[in-house]
Every structure is written in structure tokens, then in C-alpha cells.
Structure 1
């Protein structure tokens, strides 16, 4: 029997557990519906525009402020209403006390109690307590309230009393209104005297409801009027300018290259005016940048088209130069190797035409080179010196100075810088004689420093800011502005730098190339 009882208990627990699981499974759609119901207001709020959100929030905040005003107002109304009843009860008590012999006729007592809206009145005067207007029938008091002030208890007690009055007022609203109240109030200037009344709560509740409805209606009107004024003010000051900015951003994103879509900044001096001006500058820069990118793309396409034909032309010139090198003429034998080397470089440049704009140049193959030989080669390629036109000076300390660099990269750097100097001297108006290009080289610790100096017209201040940026630093008509940009990139691959030195006249570039660290050798 015991075993059977235990089996039944186990079965009942199992069945109960199964029922709980089934209930859980049945409630899962309800839970999903509740979750959907919770997320629906959030989605609806996100769909609202900024003006509507501002209006709703303004109404909510003003109504919240009205609620904060309403609660103490209702509590104050309750106290005033009860004080009015105490005052009426005091007058009724004085009238009853004036009756000769103290025997109040029942009709008079009923009229006094009805007029004062109380059920009984008692007072304490001159140290004696007396029931002035007795009740019609025995009463059961449900709540007691003492409205006498106690300044001797301090400010904290007054605050607690005020909060208690607010709580009492709210209990009147939520209660049934069928309670009987006993209220004690001050009587005259003597602190020991007081008046005591017993009154029904129902008239108080009705009066508070009427007052509450009046306050509610007035609060709604004030809320909407205030919300409308705040909405109009904030809409003009903040919302409309922000919507203008957002519309401009959408319109500008459709065609950033159209300058007519750039926002026109207002003359405001606040944060929104600052945003408009900064946005206008940013859009202007972006439009110029996109136009420059398009021009670069078109330039790249054009270069790629001529690259094939140019390589063929240079290949033919290379074949002809090879045949010229077979002639026994001494002058031909002197210049043919240089011509062949120049053609080889030109062909390599054609093959690497589109290299600019990639992540980086080819990794430099560094070796120790004689600076003098590189500079001589650069001078020969540029036909320097040029008699009665451009002098070519080299000052290398010591004469056997070696530099740790890629030969081809270093040649391109020096060639670009010196070619710019030659072009600057050739562009000088008037007498072009007396031009001079000098290169000084020396070792400074673990780096080699080269100064390339010319006595040309110098570089204008407006060009210096973009001097080493591609396609923006050229001063010569038809120039591409790539020379110094390529030189900067090639030197960066060596860990070196190039910069413009401040000089009173002419132009001086300083090139610094550090030696490789021991672990890189």
C-alpha cells in the first residue's frame, strides 16, 4: 500500500509538472504579443518626425509640471476647506453659547450643524473642554486630524506635516468618501485653546473633485498654450534650421559635385550657425576634391592610352641608338651610352606610368653609392652646366662621400629637384645669364644631407602650403606638379625627408637620407 501511494504521488507530480510545461507553451504566443505590444510604441515613436516629437515632449513636460503643481494645490484646498468648516463651526458654537441657560432648542441645533456642515462641535476655552453642539446620534470616528501648527518642533517637522497633508489629500481621492473625520483646529490666540469638530468626508470629497476637475481643465489649456508657444519658439530657433541642414545633406549626397547644392550658411552666431558654416566649408572642399579625383581619373585614362604607343616609339629610338653606338666616331662613343641609359630610363618610366597613386613605390634596393657619380649623372642628363646661362656647382665633403640608397630612386629624386631648379631659372624674365644651381653634400652622423640651391625667383607663399602635394604645386604652365610629390614618396621609402629651407632669395631644398640600421644590412 505504501508503495502504491508513493507511485500515485510521483504520477501526480509528473502530471502537475507536465501541466505547467503545457501552460508555459500556451503562454508563449501571449508573451510574444506582449513583447510586440511593448515594441510597437517604440517603433511608432521612432517614425515620428522631429517637430512632432518636440510637440509631444513639450506637452508631456508641461503636463508633468502641472501635476507637480496640482498635488500641493489640492492639499492646500483641502486644508482651506477644513479651515472654513472650523470657522463655521466656531461661529455656530458662539451662537449656541449665547443661548440663555445653555439649553439649545433642537431645531436651532440642527440648523447650526447643517449650516456648518459638521455633525458635532466641541471646544476648549479657559482650561475647560465642553461639547457645545452634540451629535444627533452616537458617532464612530474613522480618522483624526490636528491642524494646529507646532513651530517649536522645527522646520523638519513642518516639512513632514506638509508631506502628510499631501498624502491625506490623495487618500481622499482614492477612498470611498464614507469616513467620519475628527478635526482639531486652533481657537483664538491661546495655544491651549482649540476647537474640535466631527464631520463627514463626503462633502469634502465632492468639493475636492470639483476643484480637481477645474484644475485639470485649466492645466490642459495651459499645457497646450504653453506647448504651442514653446513649440513655435523652438521650431523657429532649432527644428527648422536642423531640418534645413538635414534636407541639404540628403540633397548634397545625391550629387556632391554640384556646387549649387552646397548649403548657404546663415548669419547666426550660435552653434547652429557654426555648424552651417563648417558644413559649407566641408562641402566646398569635398566638391573640389571630387572634381580633382575625376580629373586624375581622366588623366590616368589618357596616360594609359598613350603609354603603349610611347613605349613603341622609345623602343625604336633605342634600336637606333644601339646602331649609333657601333660607329667609331669619338663624339658618338662619348654620348651614345648616356643616350642609351636615358632611353632605358624613359622606357622604365613608361612601364611604371600608372605606379603613382598605388600604395607605395617599389621597395628600394639600397647600396653604398658615390654621391659625386650620381650628381654627375644628373648634371649630364640635364645638360648642366649650360654656358653663359646656368652654372652647375657641386660641393661634396669629403669627395669620396658615399650614401646608402637605391641608385634609381636617388637619381629620380635629384633629377626632379634639379629639373625644377632649371625650369625656375629658365622662366626668369629679362637677362637669364648668371643662373646657378649648387648642390652641397655632407655626412651628419648616420645620415647624409644634400642641399640643392638655386638663385631663381623663389617659390610664392601661396604655393608653399601645397608644395609636396601631387598636381597642386606646379608653377609652370603645363606642369603636372608631380616631381616633388614623387621625390617625397621615394625618400619616405628610405626613411628620409625633403623640406624647403627659408632663404632670403632663391630656393633651397634639404634632402636627408639616413643609413640603414645594422640589422637591416
Structure 2
């Protein structure tokens, strides 16, 4: 981080350093042109417009040039000897942009002229244009000294600025971010511990907002994980209790079946109710145990004919031999579906069993369960319909929610929840159609590929 800061500050120094050196060269030459203007005025003021040679030598030495040329109505040359006709190169300060200044400074430092150079000064109001011819060596020597001084100063400034920027970045950004990272790492080790939740520093910038958001997230996550752990422990205990109760109730049901053969009138009256009650208790335990599993297994999908599976649902409905419920299957023999047969059968069995129990509780004139299937494009629709008493409004609100969708005494509401989960695992959708009296569930699944 420190080296990157130094590099960025150094780049900024370079962007300032190069134009500064170029500007120094222009100012150095401009000072010589200004001195040349003064020398020309002094010569013009001399009696007879002539000056002794030693006086001209002192003027030219002060200017730092070998010749001063004044271009007016008459061209005037101030020099000890005739100026050369050719020079190494010409520097025109009148049209010297910043790109030309930088190029000229580079040339002076690294490609010095082999002979004298001519410098053309900027025009001044009331004065004739002035040019000077001089040796570039003094200019180059002055620029080298200036570059070394500027380089030293720049290095000191860059080091100080880089250090200050580094310290500021460390305190304002790097250190708070490291604290955030270390807190996240520590919290991940034990996300249920509230003492590992970050305490916001109270900053009013983006880092402070991140700390507040992280604290809220960690607190919510810790509470959620603790609640889930408690529910998991409770679920494990309930599963164990249900397992033992199912075994006990199964034994009690067997004993109750034996009571049906007793001829005592009281026993004959009580035994069927006892057997039915035990049956409901056993189904309650089985549904709770089925829902209490962590996850359903991954579906083993394949393409199979749907009609035989629908025909099997009557035998899987749990209806007794004296049950008046009638089953009707409407399905073309060539309709195929791509799903897990065992999971789809379980989902349909839950729907059918609910319908049978509802119609047995409130029997109609002709209890009927209809399973109808049809194909549209690449989807197969299965309708499970019964003409029972229908669903009350409170059951529709939490229809597929566990322990909330049941409407009969002793029900758990797990059948529809399990059915919805199984259908979703197989890439399908289950919904309740809006009907006036009957109950109709609609299942949509991927169809099998046509051969």
C-alpha cells in the first residue's frame, strides 16, 4: 500500500516536474531578452549612437549573448564582431507553446546545440523586436542545477505527501476494512455468539454505514441460527417421541382390532371409535415423521406412462372396504411424464387421502374423486377433484403451510405441504383452482419426450 502511494505521488510529481523545467528555460531566455532590450536602449541613448568597444563588451556580458539584433526601420546589430549567418537552431518566444517548451527543454538537456542559437523575443509595445545570439552552454548548466534542486525538493515533498496519504488511508480506510474482515472471520467461527457482533464506531461515512449494516445482519443471523437450532433440537425430540408413540399406537390398534370380534354390545359400540381414533393418531405420527426428515432425496427422474400411476391411487387412498367413495381416472394411455414415479405417487396419494377423509367426515350423495390428465405442449396437467364439502377460507390462506392447512380434527396439515415440496422437486407447480363447491388441485409437470 505504501509503495503504491509513493508511485502515485511520484507520478503527480512528474506531471508537475517536466512543465516546471520547461518554464524555467523559457524564463531564463526571457530574462536575457529583457536585458537585451535594456542594452539596446542604452546604446540608443549614447552620444552619436555609438559606444566604445569595452562598453559594448560589458553590455553583452550582462546580457549573456554574443550579439543583440534590433529589427526596426533599420536593422541594428550590437556585437563585438559580425554575427554568424547560420545558427544551430532558433527559439521563437513569440509562438512558444507548452509542447514546444517541453520539447525545447528536453533538447537543451539531452541534445545540446553544437553552435550558437538565436532567440527571438516577444514583441513589446513601443519597442522594436529584439533577437539575441548566444551560446547554449550556460543555459544548459543553469537548467541542470535547477533540475537537481527541483528533484531534491520534489523527492522530499513526495516522501512527506506519500507518508501523510499512507497514514490517512491506513486510518480512514485500510484499518477499518481490516477490522470488518477480522470481525466477519471471527463471527463465522461462531455465528450464534452475540458477543462477536461488531460494535459500530459511529462514523458518518460509508465505512460507518457498512458497520451498522453488518451489525444488523450479524444480530439477525445469530438470532435466526439460535432459533433454528432450538427448532432442530425440538424436532429431533418430537421425532423420537413420535417414533415410540407410533409403535405403541400400532400395538394398541392391533388389540383394538381383536376387540371387534367380541360380542359384548358395549365393546361393539366402542371398538370402532377406538380403532378410528388410533388410526388417526398413527397417521399423525407418520406424517410428522415424514415431514421431520431434513430433506427429501434428490428425485430420480425418468419418463413413464401416467395412466397406470393414476389407476393405483384408489388402492393407496386408505379407504376401507365399505367406503362409498368412487374413483374415476381420465387419462389417455399414451401420456407420459418426466418425473420421479415414487415421489409423484406420494404427492398424489396425499391429495387423494385428504379428499377421501374429507368426504367420509361429511359424506355427500355420491362421493367422487376424479383424476384427470392432459398434455399441452411440453407440459402435463393433472387435476385432482372431489365433490366433498370444500375448503373453508381459513384453510385456503395457509393451504401448503405445515401444521396450518388442516381443517379436520386431529389433522396436521402436513399432507399438502409434503405434496407441494415433492412436486417442486420434480420441476412442477401445484395450485388450488377456484371452484364454487368442489375442491380441485392442479399439478403441472414436464411431459416426457414423444417417441
TM-score class, shorter-chain normalisation, is 0.5 to 0.7
Q: What CA distance in whole angstroms lies between the structure 2 residues aligned with 1:56 and 1:453? A: 76
Change (3 A) 1:109 1:496: closer
Instruction: Say whether the 8 Å CA contact 1:370–1:401 is kept in structure 2.
Output: no
Q: What CA distance in whole angstroms lies between the structure 2 residues aligned with 1:271 and 1:254? A: 26
**1:72 matches 2:19:** yes
**TM-aligned CA deviation for residue 310 of structure 1:** 5.0
Q: What CA distance in whole angstroms lies between the structure 2 residues aligned with 1:403 and 1:255? A: 56
Where does 1:62-461 land on structure 2 (aligned, <5 Å)? 62-100=9-47, 104-126=51-73, 128-135=74-81, 143-147=88-92, 149=94, 161-175=97-111, 180-186=116-122, 188-189=124-125, 194-220=129-155, 223=158, 227=162, 238-264=173-199, 272=207, 275-276=210-211, 278-291=213-226, 294-295=229-230, 297-299=232-234, 301-302=236-237, 309=244, 312-313=247-248, 316-317=251-252, 319-320=254-255, 323-324=258-259, 331=268, 355-360=293-298, 366-368=309-311, 374=317, 401-402=328-329, 409-413=347-351, 446=374, 447-450=382-385, 453=390, 455=392
Q: What CA distance in whole angstroms lies between the structure 2 residues aligned with 1:471 and 1:347? A: 13
1:182 match: secondary structure: strand
Instruction: Say whether the 8 Å CA contact 2:70–2:76 is kept in structure 1.
Output: yes
Residue aligning to 2:417: 485
Change (3 A) 1:162 1:349: closer
Q: What CA distance in whole angstroms lies between the structure 1 residues aligned with 2:164 and 2:91? A: 44
Residues 434-456 of structure 1 deviation map (CA, whole Å, 9 limit, x = unaligned): x9899996778743244875558
Q: What CA distance in whole angstroms lies between the structure 2 residues aligned with 1:516 and 1:163? A: 72
1:359 match: secondary structure: coil
**TM-aligned CA deviation for residue 81 of structure 1:** 1.3
Q: What CA distance in whole angstroms lies between the structure 2 residues aligned with 1:87 and 1:414? A: 109
Structure 1 spans left out of the alignment, 5+ residues: 1-52, 151-157, 381-393, 421-434
Instruction: Say whether the 8 Å CA contact 1:97–1:132 is kept in structure 2.
Output: no
Change (3 A) 1:441 1:148: same
1:149 match: secondary structure: helix
Residue aligning to 1:511: 441
TM-score, normalised to structure 2, is 0.66
Q: What CA distance in whole angstroms lies between the structure 2 residues aligned with 1:256 and 1:175? A: 69
Instruction: Say whether the 8 Å CA contact 1:498–1:509 is kept in structure 2.
Output: no
Q: Could you tell which deviates more after superposition, 71-80 or 200-209?
A: 200-209
Ranked by relative contact order (alpha carbons within 8 Å, sequence separation 6 or more), the top structure is 2
Instruction: Say whether the 8 Å CA contact 1:368–1:403 is kept in structure 2.
Output: no
1:118 match: secondary structure: coil
Change (3 A) 1:309 1:375: closer
Residue aligning to 1:389: none
Change (3 A) 1:176 1:317: same
**TM-aligned CA deviation for residue 169 of structure 1:** 0.9
**TM-aligned CA deviation for residue 471 of structure 1:** 8.4
Change (3 A) 1:253 1:352: closer
Q: What CA distance in whole angstroms lies between the structure 2 residues aligned with 1:202 and 1:325? A: 128
1:75 match: secondary structure: helix
Q: What CA distance in whole angstroms lies between the structure 1 residues aligned with 2:371 and 2:310? A: 16
Instruction: Say whether the 8 Å CA contact 2:352–2:384 is kept in structure 1.
Output: no
User: What is the alpha-carbon root mean square deviation over aligned residues?
Assistant: 5.7
1:249 match: secondary structure: helix
Q: What CA distance in whole angstroms lies between the structure 2 residues aligned with 1:334 and 1:305? A: 28
Instruction: Say whether the 8 Å CA contact 1:437–1:454 is kept in structure 2.
Output: no
Residues 192-243 of structure 1 deviation map (CA, whole Å, 9 limit, x = unaligned): x543322222332233234334544554565456556655665565445433
2:12 match: secondary structure: helix
Residues 146-181 of structure 1 deviation map (CA, whole Å, 9 limit, x = unaligned): 32535xxxxxxx6xx431221111232335688533
Instruction: Say whether the 8 Å CA contact 1:469–1:481 is kept in structure 2.
Output: yes
Q: What CA distance in whole angstroms lies between the structure 2 residues aligned with 1:125 and 1:516? A: 99
